[in-house]
Amino acid sequence: MASQKFAEQLNVQIGNEFAAHHQYVACAIYYDALTMPRMAAFFYRQALEERDHAMMMVQYLIDADVDVAIPGVEAPSNTFDDIVAPVRLALDQEKRVATQINELTALARDEHDYASDQFMQWFIKEQVEEIATMSDLLTVVTRAQHDVEAIEEYVDRELGDVGDDATAPSVAGADA
């Protein structure tokens, strides 16, 4: 049984993950409009990952027999100054989420809720990877901002779909 305090905070985090989903959809659409299909595909894929994060948290709460209330989300940024801006925003977002994930983990430990602590460990690893990916992408996009094809080439070569992660928590509805 998950601690009540942890369950409430995890329910808040579901909203943060859906907000990240919306933001990445907005980034994808921006690159799609600029005819940067690789960057667009990368952000559409990132958006789906964020949606899955939210639904992993939904599944965890369902399994813990806790009531889930899907939170509303604020509108994402839809306009950007240049092609670097969405990636900078994405990196900031991933760093913010990493802090939220760490705080959730600390809360689980404070509450002696070690099952929830263990559930959070996958997300800690995920945030390390996402920050590294976005940080590298920001370097490339900043360096090549006047060479769109070089950016597209990099994304195509380095940031393809990595497929399923067998260690990932279950996504609610995935087997439905």
- Interface contacts to Fe ion, rule CB under 5 A: 17, 50, 53, 130
Q: How far is the CB of 128 from Fe ion (least distance, A)?
A: 11
Residue nearest to Fe ion (CB): 53
- Residue 112 or 162 having the CB closest to Fe ion: 162
- Residue 22 or 53 having the CB closest to Fe ion: 53
- Residue 17 or 117 having the CB closest to Fe ion: 17
The C-alpha angle 28, 71, 44, rounded to 5 degrees, equals 15
Q: How far is the CB of 123 from Fe ion (least distance, A)?
A: 7
Cα–Cα distance list, 172 to 32, 51, 53, 80, 165 (Å): 29, 10, 10, 33, 16
The C-alpha angle 89, 96, 174, rounded to 5 degrees, equals 90
Q: What is the C-alpha to C-alpha distance for residues 154 and 21, in angstroms, rounded to an integer?
A: 23
Q: How far is the CB of 101 from Fe ion (least distance, A)?
A: 8
